[in-house]
């Protein structure tokens, strides 16, 4: 009798970091969109949205790092840990967002254009790279399961 990969994955235990990692990614992508909206409209509300989205994403990223540390101690998630390159890419995303948050702490137009917008775009590019690295690893895990 063969076991489906989904059943084998749930039998081993789900890694906790997987619950928190999408939240900062969504917040940082939305921060780029609100930066573009501010750049096009000069409406101060968009700058405030960007600052709050960056803050919420950093909180979510910190929770993901804590959950990842807990997963290191859980033997049931041993096979599903992310690769070192995925962890480094995720931490690089958080560092870029942290710097971007300081840039967005300024007043008015110069807080977003051009450096805040550039940092938001670079953060999203690093997010895309992180997703590709993680997806490749998760696909390998999925096909390796009995």
- State mean pLDDT over 68-90: 87
The domain limits of the chain are 16-144
Residue written as token pair 């803050």: 55
Residue 1 scores a pLDDT above 50: no
Residue 5 scores a pLDDT above 80: no
* pLDDT confidence tier of residue 126, bands split at 50, 70 and 90: very high
The whole-angstrom separation of Cα 30 and Cα 39 is 14
What are the pLDDT digits (tens) for 81-123? 888 999 999 999 999 999 999 999 988 888 899 999 999 999 9
**3-state SS track over 91-145:** HHHHHHHHHHHHHHCCCCHHHCCCHHHHHHHHHHHHHHHHHHHHHHHHHHHHHHC
């Amino acid at each position: 009798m063969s076991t489906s990969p989904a059943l084998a994955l749930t039998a081993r235990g789900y890694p906790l970091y997987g619950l928190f990692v999408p939240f900062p990614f969504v917040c940082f992508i939305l921060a780029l969109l609100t930066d573009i909206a501010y750049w096009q409209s000069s409406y101060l509300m968009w700058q405030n949205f960007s600052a709050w989205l960056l803050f919420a994403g950093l909180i979510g990223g910190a929770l993901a790092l804590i959950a990842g540390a807990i997963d290191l101690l859980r033997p049931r998630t041993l096979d599903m840990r992310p690769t070192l390159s995925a962890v480094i890419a995720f931490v690089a995303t958080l560092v870029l967002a942290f710097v971007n948050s300081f840039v967005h702490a300024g007043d008015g137009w110069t807080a977003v254009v051009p450096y805040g917008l550039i940092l938001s775009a670079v953060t999203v590019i690093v997010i895309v790279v992180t997703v590709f690295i993680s997806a490749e690893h998760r696909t390998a895990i999925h096909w390796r399961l009995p």
